[in-house]
Amino acid sequence: MGRDRLTRTSWIAALVAGAIALGATTGVVSIAGHPRGDVAHAAVGVSRAFADRPGPDRAEIAAASKPAEVPSGAPSRTPRRRAADHLLVRVPSSMTVRARPTSAARPVGTLPSSSKYYHVALTAWVESTAKHGRWGRVAIPYSWPRHDGWIPLRGLSRSRTHVQIEVDLSRHWLTATKFHTTLFGARGATGTASSPTPPGHYFVTDRIPFAAGGPLGSFAFGISGIQPRLPAGWSGGNQLAIHGTSDPSSIGRSASAGCIRVSERTLRRLMPLLQLGTPIVITR
């Protein structure tokens, strides 16, 4: 994609079209261009995208701000866990992910160019790089069993973040860190025993606002994982997310279909920190 200029955040208003039956799995959202600013992406909403949404609601779809641009020189090798400086790359088109950092290695999956339901242009977290800096190791989004592999980095627009979110499932606790320093911690609801939140390395793929009072609260950060053990009879989507809730009493317990539920106060603290591609590390 080359080096991009910083663009202003654009908000795209979208309303769910028509009445959607409770058993339906998707709904069509119409898109209207905002009169101010550039449109960062055109998203098509799915009414029941996330694993923890019990039914359809009306939503606005927001394009996240593009992350700050950095020089495109080869990055140094980065540890896969708790690195203070995380490399992020824009994915302009679908890319083959390979078992080793060479074009001759066998394919192990595909890195998509946009998010699963809202079709936001994908920014991926590069967990480590090969010694020569030309290949990066990424977790393959929306796949199960979870696995990762290597993509060529040449020509990809790069940025960095120093923020990481860690979720401790055993403690029902979310921690936001920056430069290895804890910014804050907060309680969160996690998956039930029958639909537990799957641990792993993920990254933010969507930033979606919702009307206050709904089951997802006022905002959701879609992440690159899916729930492989949905509750019996579930007819909604399977994407994992960190989002608000209309049931604050569930926070701090094993109560969700797999997503991480947090309070509105926690959402407000996360919103300026979590850009597209921000690492989300979930542990047992």
Cβ count within 10 A of residue 132: 8
Q: Which amino acid is at 279?
A: P
Q: What is the Cα–Cα distance from 224 to 222, expressed in whole angstroms?
A: 7
Q: Quick one: pLDDT at residue 20?
A: 29
Which residues lie below 8 Å from residue 89, measured CB to CB, with a gap of 6+? 123, 124, 126, 136, 153, 156, 157, 158, 159, 277
Is pLDDT above 50 for 195?
A: yes
Q: To the nearest whole number, what is the mean pLDDT of the chain?
A: 80
Q: What are phi and psi of 264, to 5 degrees?
A: -65, -35
Beta bridge partners of 129: 136
pTM reported for the whole predicted model: 0.76
Beta bridge partners of 189: 261
Radius of gyration from C-alpha coordinates of the chain: 18
User: What are the pLDDT digits (tens) for 145-174?
Assistant: 999 999 999 999 999 999 999 999 999 999
User: What are the pLDDT digits (tens) for 201-216?
Assistant: 999 999 999 998 999 9
Q: Quick one: pLDDT at residue 56?
A: 42
Nearest to 214 by CA among 241, 189, 243, 246: 246
Q: Percent of the chain scored above 70 by pLDDT?
A: 73
